[in-house]
Structure 1
Amino acid sequence: MGSGSISRGFRGEFKHWQIIPGSCEASPVMTNQFSIFISRDGGNKKYSSVLAPGHHEGIKKFGDQGISSWDWNLSGQHSTYHALFPRAWTVYDGEPDPDLKISCRQISPFIPHNYRESSLPTSVFVYTLVNTGRERAKVSLLMTWANSIGGVSHHSGGHINEPFIGEHGVSGVLLHHKTAKDNPPVTFAIAACETQNVNVTVLPNFGLSGENCVTARDMWGTMVQDGQFDREYFNAGPSVPSSPGSTLCAAVSASTWVEPHGRCTVAFALAWSSPKVKFQKGCTYHRRYTKFYGTSERSAINLVHDALMRYNCWEEEIEKWQDPMLKDEKLPEWYKFTLFNELYFLVAGGTVWTDGEAPVINEKQNPGSNRQKSTKMAKEDAKAVSTKRSHANLAMEQISFDTELHNGDEKMVPMSSAGEDLEDGDNLDSPESLQAGPLLHLHDGPENVGRFLYLEGVEYIMWCTYDVHFYASFALLDLFPKIELSIQRDFAQAVLYEDRRKVKFLADGNWGIRNVKGAVPHDLGTHDPWHEMNAYNIHDTSKWKDLNPKFVLQVYRDFAATGNMSFGRDIWPAVRAAIDYMEQFDRDDDGLIENDGFPDQTYDAWTVHGISAYCGCLWLAALQAGAAMAHRLGDHAFSEKCKIKFLKAKPVFEAKLWNGSYFNYDSGTSSNSRSIQADQLAGEWYTASSGLPSLFDDNKIRSTLQKIFEFNVMKVRGGRMGAVNGMHPNGKVDESCMQSREIWTGVTYSVAATMLLHGMEHQAFTTAEGIFIAGWSEEGYGYWFQTPEAWTTDGHYRSLMYMRPLAIWAMQWALSPPKAIIDAPKINMMDRMYISPLNVRALHETGVRKIAPKSSCFGNTVFHCEC
């Protein structure tokens, strides 16, 4: 995780290249293959083929000297593929040799609670060969790899290959890749493990055309004839840099004899070392794995070596983790597989995992690349130093700011109105407005596992989109809780920080500031994460009604589940600020926040008026969580403040929205105000997941969930697609906007989790199974390992490879909550309270900025300070 990723399809193709942050090259690099060569009866019987079943488009474009000259002989009729992330199995039963059964098992080191191995950029491919014939067979397996990071990067020139012989029989080729646009270099290592029965040879250089090199056709002919390469190639040394427009490739062969009815195992591995990750605005960091392997690109040798030496241990740990769920007979089979396979996104979701240190400065030249001009390096170093100083200065400001908040004497920064200083012609790059974000140095110790980013989706390039992380975070909390706490710390710092750089919002054309103090940011940014947040600029998310409650709920859940008191104390000032900030959206002093007639929440195309089921329920849940957390941390005045707000707001919420069987979409008078929203109990979902008492009577919760099941689920293709977001009470899909008529995969999983938490197992698994049927099953739409954010009732998708479907882990959380949640006291604190005269005064004190927007949809917005 977090070191770049390469996906592998069911036909064996390597695709979805994400080595450069925020960039995904979806197309496969077809040179990257495994192939097999079999010789029997003294060479009188020979079989050869690329191990790529089925028809492959575009192979012929490489020309006669390229990979089209290879034998693509597998029809796929006798080949099967099985995936159980982080492992997958491909079986070639009698293809291409009818008397040889070939199976490939691929393993990636994704190991819950292991913050070392899980950061490693490597994968192992273990081939098992079973000879079912009567003759001894010589079998050679071949791994070929292009010096490329996807797309047309192999044509850029300046790439270098070199062979290596490592320890314990691990031998292969290093492929030094010179990246474009000043991105950090990357070095690949492909290798196999030589044993007493397995002979490893390499061809460090071949090309796809006949320009002064061994061609792909020549290489294939050598393997057909000899089944191996000349061992002299190990002495070849580094190649000359490749020319622009050419493709530099390498190959590793592993040969063995398989006796009649015998079995043999051959292991290959792939690793890459790209120790630095650079973002578009110029900040560069070291990746997490460099803490264990150093910052040299040549550490790819050690990575590939350790992968081949340790994969058996990895598999033991993976099986220890997965077996209890796989062997649980109460769980549906489809659920077990989908639960693990949805985790692919934690690797393939553009994840970046740094060492947690400040940005780095250029230390040396790229291996295998031309020397950069000294003036250019000097400029880059100066920029890095400037950035580092800016971040350090802001860190000191942030520490001071936190102290002020603790002391209750926060200094306010004057803010311009949209109609005055925030105009299109303003200087957006003035020194006053350009401030770095609140990146603080992480303290050393076991809790410091670095910083972690993952994209909202490979098409929605924003890091750690918070309204979506609300759904996905159950996977991280369950499997990598220290990463989850790290993400929450990053957002907590952002809540207490204001970035006055100006931004124009696309929906209404108004100008605002990038990050408003007290408002939870939508995301951690795109081009300069942690320092330039809120890359989302459709709406002004400082006026969204779900982000702050979601922050309070996530922090409390994480605090309750981990029992980490230092985390709770550190985050508490931000939680208080987030709750206080929301008071401005209670327009009529009834304790409830109101929506402002535009899509001011995660459903950012679905307009909401007045009190809404979604945001109102989140707010009630946040008040209860805030009270509970304040009580545990000894902030009794704030706990009572949250209690009194809750007791005031809850009856209003029920009176305005409860219609006898579910909560109306909102309290407005629009045509969809009575729609049945699948996600209306999101606050109750978190309340129950955190071990807190239910927000409403059980009969109301079950009635609502049953209504959602009968209408949003079962009235859409018989429940075989998931839960549609909006459904009219007459049984027709709410067509008021794109999002109301969509089925959101992650929301469906969260609704199923809510059902599980309230004893509705049949409805829960039926609801979630619709996502499996439509997205993962053979009768579905083929969205495996790229589950989209949404699809419509006719199967059209939006945003492939999306974060929210990780919410399936909320179902597992509901089925097997941690002990701390199970043992949490169920005393309803909200009904037992005492407000002292001194605390009454505290209820009205707040120090965070408020915004007073007009209520019209996309209307002009007025910013002002209310101190």
Structure 2
Amino acid sequence: MASIALEIPRGAWRRPIGLPLENPGRSLPEPHVSIDDGYWQGVPLGGIGAGTIGRTYRGDFARWHLDPGRHRYEPLPACMFSIFVEDQSGRLSQALWTEAPSRELAAWPWRYPVGAGFYAALYPRSWFVYEWERLPVRLAVEQFSPVIPHNYRESSYPVAVFLWFIENPTSEPLRVGILFTWQNLLGFGWDHRVPGGGIHRSRAEALASGRMIGVEMMGGEGPAQEPWDGSWALAALEVPGVEVTYRTWFPAEGDGAEIWEDFAADGRLESDAGAISPPEGERAGAGLAATFRLAPGEKRVVPMALAWDLPIVEFGAGDRWYRRHTVFFGRSGRNAWEIAREALERYPAWREGIQAWQRPILSDPTVPDWYLTALFNELYFIADGATAWVVDPADPEGIGRFAQIECYDYPFYETLDVRFYGSFPLLMLWPELEKAVMRDFIATVPQADLTLRTIEANGGQAPRKLPGALPHDLGSPLEAPWRLPNAYRFQDPNIWKDLNSKFVLLLYRDYVFTGDRGLVESGWPAVRMALEYLKLFDRDADGLPENEGLPDQTYDTWPMRGPSAYCGGLWLAALEAAIRMADLVGDPEARSRYEDWLRRARESFEALLWNGQYYRYDALSPHRDSIMADQLAGQWYADLTGLPPIVPEPHILQAFRTIYDYNVRRFAEGRRGAVNGMRPDGTVDRCSNQSAEVWVGVTYALASAMLARGMEEEAWRTAWGAYHVTYEEKGYWFRTPEAWDERGDFRASMYLRPGAIWAIEWVRRR
């Protein structure tokens, strides 16, 4: 274990511990106030679908996504790391948080000095390096969960590993203690109380690498019956020279004097072996301490693990599922200790798996460090996006069902128009999960749900789902995902003009990347149905579906009328993809029909929308001559997947040059990404809130499209603007929003679409 060295890779985002941010971004007031917890954020811990916990760069555990679809932000002081050091001049003990609680645990020494060290993050790993003049030791911790590409086992684990690196740089021996305390969060720590207070008990067992010692917190002896029930465990490895002691219980709402005075006396705890049921109704904590001596110049690595086993997922309509990790640990909910054991045994292999995956990208000298920062850290959403990865009862040994949310403000799973941009990391790193999602969309195409719903934008009535119309989403955690698609009802998704084309393009993209012909063969009837349905909106027989003068696509407050560059271009690319898929499945009749449609549509697209410099926003709206950043979204996918150009080659480059000149360079001095809409006179299109916004995912997609066309300087400058606002200027790290305005104020934090940055990596790998 001592051979494991502290190593913070190139590209890791860094910030002084607890340093406030001047002029952070704020939530935009319109159309509603988004979740805004501020910039105190950090890398989330926890596997895919396991529930996640966010530890901020000031040292507290504050963001809780343990229950899919439910966001809670609240620092819990009892969930804490603390340090003890004794040298010849005396003793020092300190909780490692730059803030202090308002009431509880008042006896603990809080307010670690702001700026005394730094935090670094390169998902899924993060680091605290403590540099305080009062600390006679060099102290750092690396924390991570085993979120490893192409790994469909450990990536689902509800576990976090903490590797403490300690060195004595002095000329005298030191005594060091590291205290890890945790609040029992069964009942999610707030809304439920486990009957009788549950059970806390100490445990110890021999492993090949040492003795595992810690505390297990359970709701009871029998299997968990509720989604808030299960078990938690915190454990450390005792090896020669390291003593691990513990407290099975302490009041997390009191002043904390008893446990702190115990720890501060000698850096250890007076272990209270056995089991205890904390008083019912009280917030209870547990703690463990690793204590050791360091000779001058000596180094030591101390591993600790936190694990939780909350096996049941329940959604708003009452549907219940078992989380993915139960395939490997059973469904009782009493297996947190076993998960922690595997972490303490396997963490070197997990760490090496993460490093081996990232190393080739990090060692590429042709890419800037800021790109690496954004590329890897935007992956936080794979686990943190209210992610559900559950066992499919119809195939309990299979890959399971998977879904990530659009965002917590818009709680919809696998929003189709958004995942068109944001699903690249899922496809490129966990392709079996991407294919599972697409199989779920394939199944929805012929489905009908004629239940009438009120459309929020206009008060009208519309069926929930019409056959042939792709759903906006696969459901909501507030209802019944997979069983009730189309939870969205701000607009009527049955008349959207981008969803069906995007479905066809996603299916073809996934085939191109995976080579799985079976995906195309199983989806072909749905492709044909989707295209026939969308063709019905070509009411004037010009080959292009007409937008209806209201927001009927992903820009759902920005209306289009008549043929539009955005939806028309997606239609052209979808027809090209369908022609390729018709060849794959051997359907010459469909191929011939789509060729006829494409020929007519391409002629109309050029005649109606090309103006010599760019493709007009649409053909008939009052703002039809606006310059849309996303006007060539269809061409973007055509280039990514090797399809023929949807428009003449010279027009592609000219349009991208115009977009770069207007939407990037002339907006906010070229420092905030690509604004969605610009007028030909160089002013921002303010006909809607969305036309005047930068969409982070669209900016990354545009950069990818430019890069695919050889516009390297323009591509990197465009993408840099999105990185700059997120990680340098406005404090959106680990909550990257959908959008911001010219000031940098945001809408819809923690959003799916920014995963489009991985489309840049797609182009680079070609």
TM norm structure 1: 0.80
**1:174 aligned residue:** 216
How many angstroms does 1:512 deviate by?
2.3
Rounded to whole Å, the distance in 2 between the matches of 1:187 and 1:803 is 30
**2:190 aligned residue:** 153
| Contact 1:187 1:274 survives alignment (8 Å) | yes
Query: Which of 610, 616, 623 matches 1:658?
Result: 610
Rounded to whole Å, the distance in 1 between the matches of 2:564 and 2:372 is 35
Rounded to whole Å, the distance in 2 between the matches of 1:166 and 1:4 is 27
**1:611 aligned residue:** 563
1:10 aligns with 2:48: no
**1:593 aligned residue:** 545
Rounded to whole Å, the distance in 2 between the matches of 1:478 and 1:640 is 32
| Contact 2:224 2:333 survives alignment (8 Å) | no
Query: Which of 83, 93, 103 matches 1:61?
Result: 103
| Contact 2:118 2:129 survives alignment (8 Å) | yes
Counterpart of 2:542, as a letter, is D
Rounded to whole Å, the distance in 2 between the matches of 1:805 and 1:743 is 11
**1:471 aligned residue:** 421
Cα deviation 1:653-672 (Å, max 9, x = unaligned): 011000001000000140x2
**2:481 aligned residue:** 529
Rounded to whole Å, the distance in 1 between the matches of 2:355 and 2:363 is 11
Query: Which of 656, 660, 672 matches 1:705?
Result: 656
**1:274 aligned residue:** 310
**1:250 aligned residue:** 286
1:643 aligns with 2:590: no
1:809 aligns with 2:761: no
How many angstroms does 1:93 deviate by?
2.0
Rounded to whole Å, the distance in 2 between the matches of 1:669 and 1:601 is 15
Structure 1 residues 519 and 242 mapped into 2: Cα distance closer, same or farther (>3 Å)? farther
| Contact 1:25 1:150 survives alignment (8 Å) | no
| Contact 1:73 1:96 survives alignment (8 Å) | no
How many angstroms does 1:122 deviate by?
0.6
Query: Which of 521, 525, 546 matches 1:573?
Result: 525
Task: Look up the SS of the partner of 1:509 in the other structure.
Answer: coil
Task: Look up the SS of the partner of 2:301 in the other structure.
Answer: strand
Matched pairs, number = 710
Rounded to whole Å, the distance in 1 between the matches of 2:120 and 2:707 is 28
**2:362 aligned residue:** 326
1:751 aligns with 2:702: yes
1:31 aligns with 2:78: yes
Task: Look up the SS of the partner of 1:60 in the other structure.
Answer: coil
Rounded to whole Å, the distance in 1 between the matches of 2:253 and 2:96 is 22
Cα deviation 1:504-524 (Å, max 9, x = unaligned): 212232222221111110011
| Contact 1:27 1:150 survives alignment (8 Å) | no
Rounded to whole Å, the distance in 2 between the matches of 1:95 and 1:457 is 42
| Contact 1:156 1:180 survives alignment (8 Å) | no
How many angstroms does 1:460 deviate by?
1.3
Query: Which of 125, 130, 135 matches 1:87?
Result: 125
Query: Which of 498, 502, 513 matches 2:452?
Result: 502
Matches within 5 A, 1:281-300: 281-300=317-336
Matches within 5 A, 1:629-640: 629-640=581-592
Cα deviation 1:277-313 (Å, max 9, x = unaligned): 1111111111111111111212111111111111111
Rounded to whole Å, the distance in 2 between the matches of 1:507 and 1:181 is 40
Counterpart of 1:475, as a letter, is P
| Contact 1:17 1:149 survives alignment (8 Å) | no
How many angstroms does 1:442 deviate by?
4.3
Which protein shows a greater Rg?
1
Cα deviation 1:796-818 (Å, max 9, x = unaligned): 1101100000110011011113x
Query: Which of 116, 121, 129 matches 2:158?
Result: 121
Task: Look up the SS of the partner of 1:687 in the other structure.
Answer: helix
**2:726 aligned residue:** 775
Cα deviation 1:334-388 (Å, max 9, x = unaligned): 001110000000111110101222xxxxxxxxxxxxxxxxxxxxxxxxxxxxxxx
Cα deviation 1:766-806 (Å, max 9, x = unaligned): 001001111112xx010100000101011111011000001
Structure 1 residues 502 and 755 mapped into 2: Cα distance closer, same or farther (>3 Å)? same
Counterpart of 1:723, as a letter, is A
- Identity among equivalent pairs (%): 40
Rounded to whole Å, the distance in 2 between the matches of 1:220 and 1:542 is 60
Cα deviation 1:571-630 (Å, max 9, x = unaligned): 111111111111110011111111011000000000110010100000000000011111
Query: Which of 72, 82, 90 matches 1:45?
Result: 90
Rounded to whole Å, the distance in 1 between the matches of 2:632 and 2:134 is 55
**1:197 aligned residue:** 241
Rounded to whole Å, the distance in 2 between the matches of 1:776 and 1:81 is 13
How many angstroms does 1:502 deviate by?
2.7
Counterpart of 2:71, as a letter, is C
Rounded to whole Å, the distance in 1 between the matches of 2:484 and 2:460 is 19
Task: Look up the SS of the partner of 2:422 in the other structure.
Answer: helix
Rounded to whole Å, the distance in 2 between the matches of 1:676 and 1:180 is 56
How many angstroms does 1:151 deviate by?
7.9
Query: Which of 157, 160, 164 matches 2:203?
Result: 164
Structure 1 residues 209 and 539 mapped into 2: Cα distance closer, same or farther (>3 Å)? closer
1:112 aligns with 2:149: yes
Task: Look up the SS of the partner of 1:277 in the other structure.
Answer: strand
Rounded to whole Å, the distance in 2 between the matches of 1:700 and 1:476 is 32
1:717 aligns with 2:717: no
How many angstroms does 1:171 deviate by?
1.7
Rounded to whole Å, the distance in 1 between the matches of 2:748 and 2:77 is 25
Rounded to whole Å, the distance in 2 between the matches of 1:542 and 1:652 is 24
Counterpart of 2:381, as a letter, is F
Structure 1 residues 138 and 283 mapped into 2: Cα distance closer, same or farther (>3 Å)? same
How many angstroms does 1:157 deviate by?
5.4
Task: Look up the SS of the partner of 2:93 in the other structure.
Answer: strand
List alignment gaps of at least 5 residues for structure 1.
Answer: 358-440, 818-867
How many angstroms does 1:149 deviate by?
6.3
Greater relative contact order (Cα < 8 A, sep 6+): 2
Structure 1 residues 177 and 153 mapped into 2: Cα distance closer, same or farther (>3 Å)? farther
How many angstroms does 1:698 deviate by?
2.0
Query: Which of 679, 688, 694 matches 2:645?
Result: 694
How many angstroms does 1:183 deviate by?
3.4
How many angstroms does 1:156 deviate by?
3.7
**1:795 aligned residue:** 744
How many angstroms does 1:95 deviate by?
5.0
Rounded to whole Å, the distance in 2 between the matches of 1:242 and 1:539 is 50
**2:632 aligned residue:** 681
Structure 1 residues 664 and 35 mapped into 2: Cα distance closer, same or farther (>3 Å)? same
Rounded to whole Å, the distance in 2 between the matches of 1:320 and 1:732 is 47
